[in-house]
Chains A and B, each alone.
Chain A
Amino acid sequence: QKEVEQNSGPLSVPEGAIASLNCTYSDRGSQSFFWYRQYSGKSPELIMFIYSNGDKEDGRFTAQLNKASQYVSLLIRDSQPSDSATYLCAVPSGTYKYIFGTGTRLKVLA
């Protein structure tokens, strides 16, 4: 089993809909989790981090963490074409380093 797994997609949603992106991880000891967004041909940029069970909201973005089930999700409300990108989940692995998932490509259709 890979340490961090994401569905590669593409996940296509109509403009204005909710996009739901999921990430599962294998290390039960993982404490904090990051979501990065990467536009085509660009570098990853941080969207959110979460380290407590439950939901964390930031504008149109909500991160959800369920440590018992070992998954973390990212919800994007009122999806816009500008949200079209690849979303990477990052999970800690050992000390001071993070393992990235291969990412889910999101396409928001106008």
Chain B
Amino acid sequence: DAGVIQSPRHEVTEMGQEVTLRCKPISGHDYLFWYRQTMMRGLELLIYFNNNVPIDDSGMPEDRFSAKMPNASFSTLKIQPSEPRDSAVYFCASSSRMTSGGSTDTQYFGPGTRLTVL
């Protein structure tokens, strides 16, 4: 399996521009997570989906952020308009299922997208 695929790997944009990050989860995984990682705040959960349905978006920082999962093999995270404070590494992760514990809760992370907003 190719693992979780993310694109682009690096994105440099100017403040005010729209940014779209893409993710392809591992085939057969029902859960998809979007995280943001910064030095100051660590790894923060933004939103997660189960069977393509958004379950918890309480981590989405503000209305400028939106995420979609139109089918089981594709998800996007969009920032519009982007701001310098959005600069971070954005990870997508997937999991086969989630319970209250156990190895099946393992999340497999993609390589991440390093976003720089000037």
Contacts and interface: CB of A to CB of B under 8 A. Distances in A.
B42 A97 contact: no
A43 B109 contact: yes
Interface string B81-106: 00000000001000000101111011
Contact of B91 (A43, A95, A99): A43
B112 A102 contact: no
Contacts, number: 60
B43 A92 contact: no
A15 B56 CA distance: 43
Interface residues of A, number: 22
Contacts of A46: 106-108
Interface string A70-107: 00000000000000000010001011111111110000
Nearest to B112: A43
B111 A103 contact: no
A25 interface: no
A97 B101 contact: no
B40 to A, nearest CB: 8
Contact of A32 (B33, B45, B105): B105
28 contacts: A31-B100, A32-B102, A32-B105, A34-B105, A34-B106, A43-B91, A43-B109, A43-B110, A43-B111, A45-B109, A46-B107, A46-B108, A49-B103, A49-B106, A51-B102, A88-B42, A92-B100, A94-B56, A97-B33, A97-B45, A97-B56, A98-B45, A98-B107, A100-B42, A100-B43, A100-B44, A101-B42, A102-B43
